[in-house]
Amino acid sequence: MDTLRWLDEENCIELIDQTLLPGKFKYIKAKSIEAVAKAIEILQVRGAPAIGVMAAMGVALGATKFRGKDKEKFYEYMETVFERIERTRPTAVNLFWALERQRGIIAKNAGKDVAGITAALIEEGKKMRVEDIKINKRMGANGAKLLKKGSRVMTHCNAGSLATADYGTALGVIRAAYAKGRIERVYADETRPRLQGAMLTAFEMVQEGIPCSLNCDNAAATLMARGMIDAVIVGADRIAANGDTANKIGTYSLAIVSKAHKVPFYVAAPISTIDYSLKSGAEIPIEERDGDEVRKIGREVICPDGVDIVNYAFDVTPAKLIAGIITENGVAAPPNRKNLAKLRK
């Protein structure tokens, strides 16, 4: 499943519109920088690694729109492209990491003309997509070793193919472990308010024939108390240098519940999700989204008019609640500053 790809014939990005799943599987095309930014903002494309690739390709798409040969004007214009993409979502560090990489490509190709720099940006966007898939497969192999045969694994949100270029981080580990007979069943938290677990994780599992049960978020403690869960694996949007991890709202409570029931709680994420510049999770910017996401389920309003809404999209799980952080370069267990630093290459 290609979550997103660059179309050479049209110099645009083709992506699955994830807001339509699971009812409708439809590719749409982002043909302008505003369309790229909006797709990220309204979650047509979401999940930290997928947002990173989208941002990189978005920069390339922005470059194709420049008319003229004046390099100074091109650089000035490109700043507006970077600035628009930077403003979309604050928490997933992969977005900023991808933009930094594209800034590096512009600097490295400074000797070329506008067309040459644009071609290099397109190539880099495509390269990042291919790299992401390879990284996820390495992460999957590293994480699968942590699970015992016949494990029942709970996950939160969607850290699957749809959250990456393909294969997934947490679901990548699950895919790799399933292929080795180590997964009996996946328990997918529905993940209010946007229901990525119900709409996307359950969709991926059903598509692939991996046994999956969908549960509401507040069922986790009961399932654990009944001995139904052997491990939890989630993705991440940004990990601080000490291992504190920002992920979809509800991840922190799931980690507390896991600790209380002695169920190992793992995070799977690429090195590009680790923000080594941040000392702890307290420094991670947390996105607050429109109250309508909580006020409504689908189009249906579920609360009285006038009630105040709080809608943090992510929370921070302290490193001490995490048994291990699984990356493409190995597993940091426990995930402290020293072990995470060793994985940086």
Question: Could you give the residue numbers annotated as active site?
Answer: 237
CA distance 123 to 329: 25
Closest approach, Cβ 113 to ligand MRU, in A, equals 37
Q: Of 14 and 293, which has the nearer Cβ to ligand MRU?
A: 293
Strands 265-268 and 324-327: parallel
Of 124 and 189, the one with the shorter C-beta distance to ligand MRU is: 189
List, in sequence order, every residue forming a beta bridge with 316; answer none if it has no partner: 246
d(CA 36, CA 33): 5
Helix (H, G, I), strand (E, B) or coil at 141: helix
The DSSP code sequence of 159-201 is: -SGGGSSSS-SHHHHHHHHHHTT-EEEEEEE--TTTTHIIIII
Ramachandran region of residue 11, left (φ > 0), alpha (ψ -120 to 50) or beta?
A: left
**Which three-class secondary structure state does DSSP give residue 127?**
helix
> Which CB atom, from 237 or from 328, has the smaller least distance to ligand MRU?
237
Residue whose Cβ sits closest to ligand MRU: 235
Footprint on this chain of ligand MRU (rule: CB under 6 A): 43, 46-49, 92, 157, 159, 163-164, 169, 196, 235-237, 247-248, 313
Q: Of 158, 156, 193, 218, nearest to 292 (Cα)? A: 193
Nearest approach in angstroms of CB 313 to ligand MRU is 5
- Closer residue to ligand MRU, CB minimum distance, 43 or 120: 43
| Alpha-carbon span 264 to 330, nearest angstrom | 17
Minimal distance, residue 307 CB to ligand MRU, in Å:
23
Q: How far is the CB of 154 from ligand MRU (least distance, A)?
A: 13
Between 105 and 132, name the residue whose CB sits nearer to ligand MRU.
132
Edge-to-edge, what's the strand order for the sheet holding 324-327?
A: 212-215, 183-189, 151-155, 231-234, 265-268, 324-327, 330-332
Type of residue at 194: R
The least distance separating ligand MRU from the CB of residue 258, rounded to whole angstroms, comes to 16
